[in-house]
Amino acid sequence: MYNENLITEENIEMINENFIEDEQLKIDISETVGDIHVEDPRIIAKNVNVFYGEKIAINNVSIDIGKNEVLAMIGPSGCGKSTFLRCLNRMNDTIESCKVQGEIYLDNKNILEKKTDVVPLRARVGMVFQKPNPFPKSIYDNVAYGPKIHGLAKNKTELDEIVFNSLERAGLLAEVKDRLNSPGTSLSGGQQQRLCIARTIAVSPEVILMDEPCSALDPIATAKVEQLIYELKENFTIVIVTHAMQQAARVSQRTAYFHLGNLVEVGATEKIFTTPQHKLTESYITGRFG
């Protein structure tokens, strides 16, 4: 009544039921609708399959991710967004039961090959998580952590520069510059998340993966992070998973809609939100905004 956009459990259930009905109508979701290719790709994923044990979680997904674009991934809970995102920097390696097949090219190198060294890969493809997770260290050390382990700074002055620069770019410097030595956990949730972003950009990655980076934040902190994402796209390729449709609309150029492990539709964000081609995409988008 007072908030029609509020996602209640009931209407999620309703949406899910709709999907099941749709499935019974045999809507084909194994082919991706829309443009999976872009002109100037940084990442090219080809026929990616992911299994957790016997269970398939990502089914034959192919998609390009362009340079300097923000790609938003949306879809109902459990459809495999996080799983796919974690393939892009091989974070799925940390899960014992998880197997990934297919090819993912980062600048023409297949990162899914066994011989790929994940340490430099993860420095190039950084990740920001759903829950802010600052290390139990000072603010300064949180940001300096990555540059230190990758040996990016030759001396203290260079390290200082990287830290200040990253904090500045994460829009956090002004708020924390007098207390760089207090613990990272003493910051507010939104500040912590921006600290985590600063920590990620401190190793100067080319790609930043964000898994629902704002879901633990209040609207004001969310707006700040969104603004940040918008600015970061000048220099980075960003892939963001989000449940907030408006957020996808605000920050991304392209949107990919996942459903039950399949990439159903991908295309320019405005197109996805105004004239979705696939029935499932449409019911997902309209279902939420009624």
Partner 1 sequence: MFFIIALLGVSGYFAGLRKSLIIREKNTLHSTPIYHGVLLAVNSSLASILTLVVWLIIEKNIFYELKFFREYLYFLTFIVFSFTATLTYNKIKHEFKARDNLEKIIKLFLLSCSSLAILVTIGIFLSVIFESQKFFNTIPIIDFLFGTHWSPQMPIREDQVGSSGAFGAVPLFTGTFLIAFIAMCIAGPIGLMSAIYLSEYATKNVRNFIKPLTEILAGIPTVVYGFFAVIVVAPFIRNTGEQLGISIASESALAAGLVMGIMIIPFVSSISDDVINAVPRNLKDGSLGIGATKSETIIKVIIPAALPGIIGGLLLAVSRAIGETMIVVMAAGMSANLTANPFEAVTTVTVQIVILLVGDQEFDSPKTLAAFALGLVLFFITLILNYIALHIVRKYREQYE
Ligand X SMILES: Nc1ncnc2c1ncn2[C@@H]1O[C@H](COP(=O)(O)OP(=O)(O)OP(=O)(O)O)[C@@H](O)[C@H]1O
Complex with Mg ion: residue 57 or 225, whichever CB lies closer: 57
User: Is residue 37 a contact point for partner 1 (CB under 8 A)?
Assistant: no
User: Is residue 129 a contact point for ligand X (CB under 6 A)?
Assistant: no
Measured from the Cβ of residue 73, the count of other Cβ atoms closer than 10 Å reads 28
User: Is residue 82 a contact point for Mg ion (CB under 5 A)?
Assistant: yes
**x-or-dash string of contact with partner 1, 152-191, rule CB under 8 A:** ----------------------------------------
User: Is residue 14 a contact point for partner 1 (CB under 8 A)?
Assistant: no
Q: Which does 135 bind (CB under 5 to 8 A by kind): partner 1, Mg ion, ligand X, none?
A: partner 1
Q: Which does 42 bind (CB under 5 to 8 A by kind): Mg ion, partner 1, ligand X, none?
A: none
**x-or-dash string of contact with partner 1, 105-124, rule CB under 8 A:** -------------xxxxxx-
Measured from the Cβ of residue 25, the count of other Cβ atoms closer than 10 Å reads 8
Q: Which does 80 bind (CB under 5 to 8 A by kind): Mg ion, ligand X, partner 1, none?
A: ligand X
Q: In whole angstroms, how close is the CB of 105 to ligand X at the nearest point?
A: 22
Measured from the Cβ of residue 30, the count of other Cβ atoms closer than 10 Å reads 10
Stretch that binds partner 1, among 33-41, 142-150, 173-181, 235-243 (CB under 8 A): 142-150
Residue among 3, 8, 77, 157 that touches ligand X (CB under 6 A)? 77
Residue among 36, 43, 45, 57 that touches ligand X (CB under 6 A)? 57
Q: Which residue is nearest to Mg ion (CB)?
A: 82
Measured from the Cβ of residue 152, the count of other Cβ atoms closer than 10 Å reads 16
Residue among 34, 80, 205, 267 that touches ligand X (CB under 6 A)? 80
Q: In whole angstroms, how close is the CB of 88 to ligand X at the nearest point?
A: 13
Complex with Mg ion: residue 83 or 191, whichever CB lies closer: 83
**x-or-dash string of contact with ligand X, 81-100, rule CB under 6 A:** xxx-----------x-x---
User: Considering just the CA atoms, what is the radius of gyration of the chain in Å?
Assistant: 19
The alpha carbon dihedral of 82, 79, 56, 264 has a sign of negative
Q: In whole angstroms, how close is the CB of 162 to ligand X at the nearest point?
A: 32
| Interaction site with ligand X (CB under 6 A) | 52, 57, 75, 77-83, 95, 97
